[in-house]
Amino acid sequence: MKLYAPHVGHLEALEELLTGSKDIYGIYMAGTPDYVGTGRTNLSSPGLEEIAEQTARVHEENVKMEVVLNSSCMGGQHLTPEGYNRVNWYFTQLHNIGVDAVTVAEPYFIEMLSKDYGMEVVVSVLSFVDSPQKAEFYEQLGADTIVIDPVINRDFEKLEAIRDAVSCDLKLLVNEGCLYQCPFRYAHFNFFSHANGPGPKLNVLDDYYYYKCLSLRISDPQQLIKSPWIRPEDLKEYKHITDIFKIGGRTHFPNWILNNVQAYANESYDGNLMDLLDCPRDIRDLFYIPNKELDGAINQWKQCSKVCNKCGYCKKLAEKIIKVYTAEGCENILKPLKSKGGQ
């Protein structure tokens, strides 16, 4: 198994990751937002010197370095002569540094990278590759690896069709806790891309999409189960698709990342599944999902028709196993989730 781990971007955290686990095949981190930016939040914006230093350090441990530049919206800047020159210069510097792979979402960058720079070209989750046809398009553009849109993580027919359609590598993001068929997905990543990219910085009141994301789960906790995460125990079900897995979580402490690496490397986790999920970070102190009680659920999802209102499996499972942290004095206790209310 090739396991890619997230990294917040500074050397101190990198040392903790490298000394904390020998199961990491590759590290990925954001680049400098002045050139491309990324579609997710970041804790750091490492300059080229920092990327060079950290690339050299991971290579000492025979670990790959991947720089993520997966802005889902460039606002057309890359199509201007100045924009192209800026991005071209940046890609060249990354190549000179010895970066192994670059992850991008913009199709133009995939074609650009595949022609001139000699680095592995990785198609980001934020290119939303969810069908054999789309995978073929990206492979034709020059992709060496495609990170599949997690929305089809439980759709084995499509995963297998993509595997058959292309010869490039496939990578699966295992712990994204985003809503299944999230209506905010494109808008939210575009917002992040502008907030974390080269353009003018936005003065935003609230992250509307994140509020809605949490509200929908609080009102309807079955959404936690329907999110297309892959449990550590279920990795074996995917090994005919790929052996490359990516752990999400670039804004987490090394301790959290190492806990995930250990869980996925061991293909087992005895605890709260919410500990492993990247996206709904705030509500891991609200919900408790006993991971071991999800044993066997994959068998249902493998044959799932994705018509939730007729099936009801995830809803029943949520009611059966999810518990809610409830304050009692200054302590937190666990209470069962009922279909109405958290008490």
Contacts to other proteins by CB under 8 A: 205-206, 208, 211-212, 214-215, 218-219, 221, 282-283, 286-287, 324, 326-330, 337, 340-343
Q: Cβ distance 324 to 284 under 8 Å?
A: no
Tokens 């999902």, located at residue = 289
Min. distance of Cβ 255 from other proteins in angstroms? 21
**Angle at which helices 132-141 and 156-165 cross, to 10°:** 30
Handedness of CA 113, 115, 117, 122 (dihedral sign): positive
Interatomic CA distance for residues 105 and 109, integer angstroms: 8
CB of 338 to other proteins, least distance (A): 9
Question: What count of residues does the chain have?
Answer: 343
Upper half-sphere CA count for residue 10 (Cβ side, 13 Å)? 8
Report which DSSP code applies to 294: G
The least CB distance from residue 343 to other proteins, in Å, is 5
Paired with 108 in beta bridges are none
Nearest distance from C-beta of residue 340 to other proteins, angstroms = 4
In the complex with other proteins, the residue whose CB is nearer, 7 or 217, is 217
Helix (H) or strand (E) holding 90: helix 81-97
Nearer to other proteins, 85 or 339 (CB): 339
Report strand pairing: 287-288 vs 323-328: antiparallel
Backbone φ and ψ of 233, nearest 5°: -65, -20
Which has the closest alpha carbon to 195: 38, 10, 35? 38
Taking the least distance from each CB to other proteins, the nearer of 1 and 187 is: 187
Nearer to other proteins, 234 or 278 (CB): 278
DSSP secondary structure code for residue 291 in this structure: G
C-beta closer to other proteins: residue 221 or 248: 221
Residue 69 vs 286, nearer CB to other proteins: 286
Q: Which is nearer to other proteins, 92 or 326 (CB)?
A: 326
Give the integer Cα–Cα distance in Å for 69 and 50.
16
